[in-house]
Structure 1
């Protein structure tokens, strides 16, 4: 508990987490509000719980950047040395940081998802926004789990790279380019797509959703169902975190 308290104090003693949380919530909820307000009475049937989460990836990226910064800024300013002197084993301190940062990301994810859905319901009370099925509950309440695991992914990557610019650039290139371009490779692209972590993780949110929905994109034919997709995504994130922990123990701070 002491390590968790220390990491919580360190995290909230800087401005970047506060700005990241504000931007993540404002960007995601704001885009949903604009979309909901622009929906005409003739198109109300298209405004569903899935649709209210169409912008969740924007906040997800912001929170992943926050998670990476929580690690790389300590290396940049040398404060990680004090942490490792206090906790020579290193792993408990880094795991405490992961719990605090990923937990915060998960909470922000839930706030953005629920706020987006609730605001859409307020703006368009006649739209079919009731949560009646397990898929609709996953569409809203499952977002926080993806945020949490994505933060673990970002922390693992940051422990491997250690430099802010490098970690953020690699993360953004992978998210916005690699997972978009690899599936279009002839002959093998479809097979690669089935195992890309964020595509599979997204399947936890969208599995069972109509392909014509305006919500997060649906990719048919993935090897796992919604919960299997979540487990696979979690395993990938934890493996990357384990690699980062090993690297942190072997290299000088």
Structure 2
């Protein structure tokens, strides 16, 4: 008898018969984000803080002098609501890591760049809509408290700063999302986001009391996210291109690094 050697078995990869389209991925992310109570708690707190602080500022506006721009009463609460926006962006993704849902997400959609993009689009759109609605309510609520209403005939004193306010809130949310993808831990991502949005501007302010040798730190501080947003939302602001570029950089760089981390590490 002649022995016949069995041919070694070969493995073949079978392509998945179903691949999510980007539209399906957006719908999936929308369901995941809006079905979590923490999302609505964060958005509700953001809206309540913004409207409440705006009304307090409007009520005290008479003591600020006749030149106080009414639109500032709507935009000044960003200094506080930015933290809630950033934290929301962070927990949107770190919650998936803590529950293990990220594995299901990447199984359904292996293209990790598409996952980052879809989550960013959904949370950015949600924050933009909520911010617009919040501003509308705040404008109506503060109108009886302001000595002079918002000048709608001059876009640079009304529509433009409000639009940059919406843009800034979206940017703060995406910064938190980027740190969430990078750190993958809720506490760590929140700490990183709060550090960049809140702590660093305070540290930079301390150097204003130092000598000229430390002036460069103060100059660089103008390009921190919060300071860039303050420049953009100032009524009648000029030379806004550097502030726009700084805010765009702080938004895109964490997301790109987070995408790189997601590509190189196991979920």
Q: TM-score, normalised by structure 1?
A: 0.85
Is residue 2:71 matched to residue 1:49?
yes
1:133 aligns with 2:154: yes
Contact 2:79 2:226 in 1 (8 A): no
Which sits farther off after the overlay, 242-251 or 188-197?
188-197
Equivalent in the alignment of 1:63: 85
Distance 1:45 1:229, change over 3 A: closer
Q: How many positions carry a matched residue from both structures? A: 238
Please point out which of 207, 217, 220 is paired with 1:192.
220
- For the Cα contact (< 8 Å) 1:183–1:192, is it kept in 2? no
Matched, 1:98 2:126: no
1:239 deviates by: 1.7
Unaligned runs of 5+ in 2: 1-22, 208-213
TM-score normalized with structure 2 length: 0.81
Native 8 Å contact 1:32 1:52 kept in 2: yes
Correspondence for 2:31 among 9, 18, 34: 9
Structure 1 residues 206 and 81 mapped into 2: Cα distance closer, same or farther (>3 Å)? Answer: same
* Aligned Cα root-mean-square deviation (Å): 2.2
Distance (Å, rounded) in 1 between the aligned partners of 2:138 and 2:62: 18
Worse-matched range after superposition: 14-23 or 26-35: 26-35
Residue 47 of structure 1 and its aligned partner are, at CA, apart by 5.4
Residue-by-residue CA offset, 1:183-225 (whole Å, 9 max, x unaligned): 543232223223323312321111635xxxxxxxxxxxxxx82
Q: Where do 1:119-198 residues align within 5 Å?
A: 119-124=141-146, 126-136=147-157, 137-185=159-207, 186-198=214-226
8 Å CA contact 1:67–1:101 kept in 2: the answer is yes
Alignment partner of 1:245 is 2:266 = no
Residues 228 and 114 of structure 1, relative CA distance in 2, 3 Å threshold: farther
The answer as to whether partners of 2:128 and 2:170 remain within 8 angstroms in 1 is: yes
Q: Is the 8 A contact 1:153 1:237 kept in 2?
A: yes
- Residue 225 of structure 1 pairs with residue 239 of structure 2: yes
1: CA distance, partners of 2:163 / 2:119: 24
In structure 1, distance between residues paired with 2:260 and 2:160: 34
Q: Secondary structure at the match of 2:70?
A: coil
- Does the CA-based 8 Å contact 1:139-1:205 persist in structure 2? yes
- Check if 1:208 corresponds to 2:236: yes
Say whether the 8 Å CA contact 2:123–2:173 is kept in structure 1.
yes
Q: Distance in 2 between matches of 1:166 and 1:73?
A: 12
C-alpha distance in 2 between matches for 1:62 and 1:242: 22
Change (3 A) 1:42 1:193: closer
CA apart distance, 1:7 = 0.3
Could you tell me which of 33, 38, 43 is aligned with 1:21? 43
- Which residue of structure 1 lines up, in the alignment, with residue 17 of structure 2? none
**SS of match in other structure, 1:188:** helix
* Structure-1 separation of matches of 2:232 and 2:129: 18
- Unaligned 5+ segments in structure 1 are 210-223
